[in-house]
Amino acid sequence: MKLSDSDIAAYYKRIGFKRAAQPDRSTLSALVAAHAALFMPFQHSESLADQNRSVFLFSELNDPRHLKYAQTHQDIIARFGRFPHRDEILGRSPRPDEIAHQDAVPW
DSSP-assigned letters across all residues of the chain: -PPPHHHHHHHHHHTTHHHHTS--HHHHHHHHHHHHHHHHHHHT-S-HHHHHHHHHHHHHHT-HHHHHHHHHHHHHHHHHSS-GGGHHHHTPPPPHHHHHTGGGS--
For the residues 71-79, what does the mean pLDDT come to?
96
Residue type, 24: D
Reported confidence tier of residue 89, pLDDT bands at 50, 70, 90 = very high
DSSP assignment letter at 21: T
pLDDT of residue 87: 93
Domains, the chain: 24-104 (1.25.40.10)
Model confidence at 95: pLDDT above 90: yes
Average pLDDT, the chain: 83
Model confidence at 19: pLDDT above 60: no
pLDDT of residue 103: 77
pLDDT digits (tens, 9 = 90+) for 32-50: 888 899 999 999 999 999 9
pLDDT of residue 4: 63
Nearest to 94 by CA among 78, 83, 107, 106: 83
Report how far Cα 97 is from the mean position of its chain's Cα atoms.
27
* Contact yes or no for 102/76 (Cβ under 8 A): no
pLDDT of residue 106: 73
